[in-house]
Amino acid sequence: MEAQYSDSDRWLYCIAVMRASLFITCYNDTLFPETGRAVVRLLERLGVELDFHPRQTCCGQMHANTGFRAEAFSQARRLVRMYQDVDALVIPSSSCVAMMRDQYPALLDELGDEPLRRQFDALLPRVYELSEFLIDRLGVDDVGAYFPHRVTYHASCHGLRSLALGNRPSRLLSKVRGIQLIPLANIDRCCGFGGTFSVKNSEVSSAMLAAKLQDAFETQAEYCTALDNSCLMHLGGAMHRQCAGMKTIHMAEILASTQDGEAQA
């Protein structure tokens, strides 16, 4: 693409056309491709020229949070090198963004690779969680979505505390046509997923899950949404087990839905 433009024209191109690279994350790629497709639909509708690096895998969060630091090093190194040239990196998973912001600095310092650390420092301001990208970079909160359903929003802990997403998610959701938003009680309380915590401490995790489900069911919403499919996998898995009349849906899929083609999967 860039080759078509001379250097002097390039910055003009950048202003005219917003470009971004999508880091879909390992588990979205494998388990939730519909979320990735929704991000593509949504961002292309908003005029973003999207790129996808086919060799991407994982940010290293699972390894780092389970204590496998050496393994997390190699994932972090790989990711920073892969994306050093992107204009913006969009990640539809709040915990993976938090991994990069909270843990990469210390990990890369420990590696002692100074050029890599500099590359990371240059990359970090261009890393966006999806709602950050929409509101902070594109400056839109009305994405032209239509989703005529009762929805409750679950604020994943990493989005709430590490990224401090604040009212970005609710601004985006409140502009969706036809939506009926129902607030979730105890919104700042963890759903109990916690990555390998959900397996290592599965009984405690399930108890936390039960408490969260009770709050969710009380909203009588049709959908529980979030900006992180990991919480939703945990919540949705239990909703399915309990034959509940509630489903989980990533917020990208709500924002991608329009009047003429509602949530085409």
Partner 1 sequence: MSHGPADDAIAGRAPGDRPVLDPALAPPFPIAALPVLRNLQLRKNVAHATDVIQAKRAHLVAEKTDWQQLRTAAAGIRTHALENLGAYLEQFEARCTAAGGVVHWAADAEEARRIILELLREENATEVIKIKTMTSAEIQLNPFLEADGIRASETDLAEIILQLGNDEPSHIVVPALHVNRGQVREIFARTMGLPELTDDPEALTAAARNYLRKKFLSVPTAISGANFLIAETGSVAVVESEGNGRMCLTLPRTLITLAGIEKVLPRFQDLEVMLQMLARSATGERMNPYTSLWTGVRRGDGPQNFHVVLLDNGRSAILARERQRQTLRCIRCAACMNACPVYRQTGGHAYGSVYPGPIGAILTPQLTGMRYAKSLPYASSLCGACYEVCPVKINIPEILIDLRAQVTDQERHEAVRLFDPMYLGMRIANLLFARAWLFHAAQRMARIGLRVFTQRDGWIHSLPGMGAKWAQSRDLRGLPRQTFHEWWARRKEVK
- Tell me which residues touch partner 1 (CB under 8 A): 24, 26, 28-34, 36-37, 40, 52, 54-58, 60, 62-69, 71, 74-75, 78, 102-103, 106, 157-158, 161-162, 188-190, 192-211, 233-234, 236-238, 240-241
102 CB-near residues (< 8 Å, 6+ apart): 162
In the bound state with partner 1, the residue whose beta carbon lies nearer, of 179 and 184, is 184
CA gap 200, 51 in Å, rounded: 37
Extract the tokens encoding 226.
């979030």
Closest to partner 1 by CB, 27 or 146: 27
At closest approach, how far in Å is the CB of 120 from partner 1?
18
Least distance between partner 1 and beta carbon 41 (Å): 11
Give min distance, CB of 173 to partner 1, in A. Answer: 22
H/E element, 2: none
Q: Residue 148 or residue 261: which is nearer to partner 1 going by CB?
A: 261
| Cα end-to-end span (Å), the chain | 29
- Count H helices, E strands: the chain? 15, 8
DSSP labels for 75-123? Answer: HHHHHHHHTTT-S-EEES-HHHHHIIIIIHHHHHHHHT-HHHHHHHHHH
Q: CB of 94: closest distance to partner 1 in angstroms?
A: 12
CB of 75 to partner 1, least distance (A): 6
Q: Which is nearer to partner 1, 179 or 190 (CB)?
A: 190
